[in-house]
Structure 1
Amino acid sequence: MRLTRRNFIGTGIATAALLHAPAVIGQSKPKVVVIGGGAGGATAARYLAKDSGGALDVVLVEANPLYTTCFFSNLYIGGFQEFESLQHGYDKIVAGGVTVINDLATAVDRTAKTVTLAGGQTLNYDRLILSPGIDFKEGSVPGWSLDAAEKMPHAYKAGPQTQLLKKMVEEMPQGGVFAMIAPPNPYRCPPGPYERVSMVAHVLKQKNPKAKILVLDPKDKYSKQALFEEGWLKHYDGMIEWIGPEFGGGAVEVRPDTMEVVVEGTAQKVDVCNVIPGQVAGKIAQIAGVTDDKGWAPVHPDSMKAKADANVYVLGDSSAQGDMPKSAFSANSQAKVAAMSVRGELLASKVFPAKYSNTCWSLIAPDDGVKVGASYQPTPEKIASVESFISQTGEDAALRKATYEESLGWYAGITSDIFG
């Protein structure tokens, strides 16, 4: 089925009609606190309020009054989207019955079932949903830290960093060098770094055609590799050089003060360096004590409930769940399963078997879009892929254009589903 805004939202509405639960009268409402207002958290909060018919007290904690989507931010770098189109507020979620608090969650007491905010407020909960996205693994790229992000931006949490990277690319000297330090697995949005390379190449092809792009990668292979390589050869021949671990891509040091990258002991001057570090679950998941020694939060595949605590759920990028990639589509899909499970526990509403899905679109050049995706079901061990698809090399221009247009419809649909 081709996804459009109408049928994407329509699926959610039909599900909501099946799952609607009446309000509980004569007793205080069960309390659900959701931390993180992105694709996972905002979806979970909105569906909990909507489908419970007001029977739950739902609080969404998000530090930013405007949420900037990381998904589609590469298209802003490439000049295909305005920055404002990535930003979404919470007015409709509030209108739907959710209390939104713009503050930072700093502590979780799982014994007392409380969340403490930076402003000093303490929130009680019956169920806690964590969807804080990612944080960066300290020391994963020698020479780089968050203090260096103004010189070598990561732009992997969308916002000012995204704007900074775009500005740097556009102001590169003629014939200059753009370097990307790609992240090790697992990380947010597997095709994301390579779509970004494509978008940077698109800008440079117009403004700076003799510029070069180096991709220094610790991985032997990456998502949609054949599709990106085909597209780079077709649209940006000679501009992009991918250097895998065999040739030093996995042993890179950076020197932000001198704008150098060091590969196997050899320093090279660059003009722009996009460092995408190794990643772990968002900090509050670590503070809550639900992460493992790899930095991610293991969850039960049939509900997204944290294995460390039956009263806590972890969604999206922070979760260790199995085969699903860390993507907005995945987080949105997982949020609906978690919301259904929470309502089943707190309101005794019907819980249907969990099903999950994901699609990741990437733009390589104008009207040259590709995609990969799958359907998933829980097994005792993990969320497992049961059926998958991917764009093929050699597809005609009309199909690639249709794939790109499909992604535009998906973005409109999913942001409406998330934020109302």
Structure 2
Amino acid sequence: MKLNRRLFMGGAAAGAAVATLAAPMAQASNHGKPKVVVIGGGAGGATAARYIAKDSKGEIDVTLIEPSRSYYTCFFSNLYIGGFRELNSIAHSYGTLAAEYGINVVHDWAVGIDRDARTVTLAGGAVLPYDRLILSPGIDFVDGAVDGWDVSHQNAMPHAYKAGSQSELLKAQIEAMPDGGTFAMIAPPNPFRCPPGPYERISMVAHVLKDRNPTAKIIIADPKEKFSKMALFQEGWADHYDGMIDWIGPEFGGGNVSVNPEAMTVTIDGEETKVDVCNVIPAMKAGRICEIAGVNDGNWAPVNPHTMQSRADENIHVLGDASHQGDMPKSGFAANSQAKVAAMAVRAALTGSKQFPAKFTNTCWSLIDTDDGVKVGASYEATDEKIAKVDGFISQTGEDAALRKTTYEESIGWYAGITADMFG
């Protein structure tokens, strides 16, 4: 079935058709309307801001803090690298959220949170009060995760795991590789944003090189014994890019890696290799504002699965990649799903509206080659301990070309639907 905007957006309402729960109205911190501040304008934050503003019908003042005026989705950025999309097709603005939903969109960095006073301080000096705060900052990288690399080296060895200029840089480097050159990827340890993402990227790099530079080689140094859709990707690599891709798992030193950005070398288990392009995807953690807010437990922010409220502060909700919530992967679809649950909980707390039991869904599509799409997904429910997987599905090896093409077309419809759901 091909997904479209109507089906995607309607699915959230259908999932909420269950018994209602009563929720008390909270006291606003200031006179007038209760105030919600959302930090981070991606799949979690933008969705939460839009749903709170839309469904409260003006009863709640919503402010969205996002430093970027154009937001580039990390999902589908690999398809840009592979030549299947233009960069502007994954860029989105916040104008509709402001104009049609009355959201106060502020392009600035949040640099401080006072949980006692319930205020957010911005880099520009403004101090914003809140009754509820939603944190959806995405990911940052763990310092020292890859020996020899830090963010100061991201121009020489891009991560491209925050889309936009990094995606452009990596694509340009791949296209400029010398004949017969070597592309290397340092894959991240679990947990990380978009579990199939590095391996879809390898597929897209191979797609480009097969056409432009067919004698080029790709090596992947991976600390994990297995990865998302592993059998599907390996089947696809054998079918489409036979002999081009060398995956080096931990048994052969994939977890013992260092890089030298100046010399453009990668050392795997003591063996140094000169490379032409190196995509370093380090270990990840919650965006810095979660640490500033004091809601992290280690690298991630634990939440109550029923409401996405922080375990450390009931007035703060944490969404998407930054949250430690249980069985859901860190994906755009997951963040969007969690945002709707949080938005409903916030409206219930601040306006006394009905609250339904939390339900979550996720699907992750990947493209291996032209019209060769695969997917994995699941449905989830909230327990007191975690967001728990209820059931799931995954594409099968050996599927026919028509089914794989249909799967890819589903992903195109989903992208149109989720970005409309995020940005209006």
**TM-score tier after normalising by the smaller chain length:** over 0.9
Q: What is the rounded CA distance, in whole Å, between the counterparts of 1:271 and 1:119 in structure 2?
A: 40
2:265 aligned partner, one-letter code: E
Could you tell me which residue of structure 1 aligns to residue 149 of structure 2?
144
Could you tell me which residue of structure 2 aligns to residue 321 of structure 1?
325
2:283 aligned partner, one-letter code: G
The 8 Å contact of residues 140 and 277 in structure 1, kept in 2 or not, is answered as: yes
Could you tell me which residue of structure 2 aligns to residue 105 of structure 1?
110
Could you tell me which residue of structure 2 aligns to residue 362 of structure 1?
366
2:139 aligned partner, one-letter code: I
Could you tell me which residue of structure 2 aligns to residue 30 of structure 1?
34
Structure 1 residues 180-205: Cα deviation after superposition (integer angstroms, max 9, x where no partner): 00000000000000000000000000
Q: What is the rounded CA distance, in whole Å, between the counterparts of 1:383 and 1:148 in structure 2?
A: 36
Shift of 1:17: 11
The 8 Å contact of residues 300 and 306 in structure 1, kept in 2 or not, is answered as: yes
Q: Residue 209 in 1 paired to residue 205 in 2?
A: no
The 8 Å contact of residues 78 and 200 in structure 2, kept in 1 or not, is answered as: yes
**What does 1:188-199 correspond to in 2, within 5 Å?**
188-199=193-204
Q: What is the rounded CA distance, in whole Å, between the counterparts of 2:183 and 2:8 in structure 1?
A: 37
1:39 aligned partner, one-letter code: A
**For 1:336, what is the secondary structure of its paired residue?**
helix
Q: Residue 154 in 1 paired to residue 154 in 2?
A: no
Q: Residue 345 in 1 paired to residue 349 in 2?
A: yes
Match of 1:375 among 370, 373, 379: 379
Q: Residue 244 in 1 paired to residue 249 in 2?
A: yes
Which segments of 5 or more consecutive residues in structure 2 lack a partner in the other structure?
Answer: none
Match of 1:410 among 403, 411, 414: 414
Greater CA deviation, 209-218 or 257-266?
A: 257-266
**For 1:213, what is the secondary structure of its paired residue?**
strand
Shift of 1:97: 1.3
2:5 aligned partner, one-letter code: R
TM norm structure 1:
0.97
Could you tell me which residue of structure 2 aligns to residue 303 of structure 1?
307
2:372 aligned partner, one-letter code: D
The 8 Å contact of residues 131 and 318 in structure 1, kept in 2 or not, is answered as: yes
Shift of 1:13: 6.3
Could you tell me which residue of structure 2 aligns to residue 128 of structure 1?
133
Match of 1:79 among 79, 83, 103: 83
Q: What is the rounded CA distance, in whole Å, between the counterparts of 1:380 and 1:221 in structure 2?
A: 29
Could you tell me which residue of structure 1 aligns to residue 46 of structure 2?
42
Q: What is the rounded CA distance, in whole Å, between the counterparts of 1:297 and 1:15 in structure 2?
A: 26
Shift of 1:4: 2.1
Greater CA deviation, 263-272 or 326-335?
A: 263-272
The 8 Å contact of residues 177 and 213 in structure 1, kept in 2 or not, is answered as: yes
**For 1:361, what is the secondary structure of its paired residue?**
strand
Q: What is the rounded CA distance, in whole Å, between the counterparts of 2:87 and 2:218 in structure 1?
A: 24
Could you tell me which residue of structure 2 aligns to residue 7 of structure 1?
7
Higher relative contact order (CA 8 A, sep 6+): 2
Which segments of 5 or more consecutive residues in structure 1 lack a partner in the other structure?
Answer: none
The 8 Å contact of residues 16 and 51 in structure 1, kept in 2 or not, is answered as: no
Q: What is the rounded CA distance, in whole Å, between the counterparts of 1:357 and 1:3 in structure 2?
A: 15
Q: What is the rounded CA distance, in whole Å, between the counterparts of 1:231 and 1:413 in structure 2?
A: 27
Shift of 1:267: 1.0
**For 2:390, what is the secondary structure of its paired residue?**
strand
**For 2:404, what is the secondary structure of its paired residue?**
helix
**For 2:309, what is the secondary structure of its paired residue?**
coil
2:7 aligned partner, one-letter code: N
Structure 1's 145 and 169: CA in aligned 2 closer, same or farther, altered over 3 A? same
Could you tell me which residue of structure 2 aligns to residue 270 of structure 1?
275
**For 1:299, what is the secondary structure of its paired residue?**
strand
Shift of 1:15: 7.8
Q: What is the rounded CA distance, in whole Å, between the counterparts of 1:4 and 1:226 in structure 2?
A: 29
Q: Determine what percentage of the aligned residue pairs are the same residue.
A: 67
1:329 aligned partner, one-letter code: F
Q: What is the rounded CA distance, in whole Å, between the counterparts of 1:5 and 1:50 in structure 2?
A: 17
Could you tell me which residue of structure 2 aligns to residue 280 of structure 1?
285
Could you tell me which residue of structure 2 aligns to residue 255 of structure 1?
260
Structure 1 residues 80-112: Cα deviation after superposition (integer angstroms, max 9, x where no partner): 000000100011111211100000000101011
Could you tell me which residue of structure 2 aligns to residue 384 of structure 1?
388
Q: What is the rounded CA distance, in whole Å, between the counterparts of 2:62 and 2:86 in structure 1?
A: 32
Structure 1 residues 44-88: Cα deviation after superposition (integer angstroms, max 9, x where no partner): 000000000100010000000110000000000000000000100
Shift of 1:211: 0.3
**For 2:201, what is the secondary structure of its paired residue?**
helix
> RMSD in angstroms over aligned alpha carbons?
1.8
Shift of 1:11: 3.1
**For 2:263, what is the secondary structure of its paired residue?**
coil
**For 2:223, what is the secondary structure of its paired residue?**
coil
User: What is the count of residue pairs matched by the alignment?
Assistant: 416
Structure 1's 16 and 374: CA in aligned 2 closer, same or farther, altered over 3 A? closer
The 8 Å contact of residues 16 and 356 in structure 2, kept in 1 or not, is answered as: no
2:393 aligned partner, one-letter code: F
Q: What is the rounded CA distance, in whole Å, between the counterparts of 2:190 and 2:310 in structure 1?
A: 22
Q: What is the rounded CA distance, in whole Å, between the counterparts of 1:2 and 1:335 in structure 2?
A: 24
Q: Residue 56 in 1 paired to residue 60 in 2?
A: yes
Shift of 1:3: 2.5
Match of 2:119 among 111, 114, 130: 114
Q: What is the rounded CA distance, in whole Å, between the counterparts of 2:226 and 2:395 in structure 1?
A: 17
Q: What is the rounded CA distance, in whole Å, between the counterparts of 1:280 and 1:12 in structure 2?
A: 28
Q: What is the rounded CA distance, in whole Å, between the counterparts of 1:352 and 1:67 in structure 2?
A: 31
1:361 aligned partner, one-letter code: W
Q: What is the rounded CA distance, in whole Å, between the counterparts of 1:113 and 1:17 in structure 2?
A: 33
Match of 2:404 among 390, 397, 400: 400
Q: What is the rounded CA distance, in whole Å, between the counterparts of 1:144 and 1:90 in structure 2?
A: 34
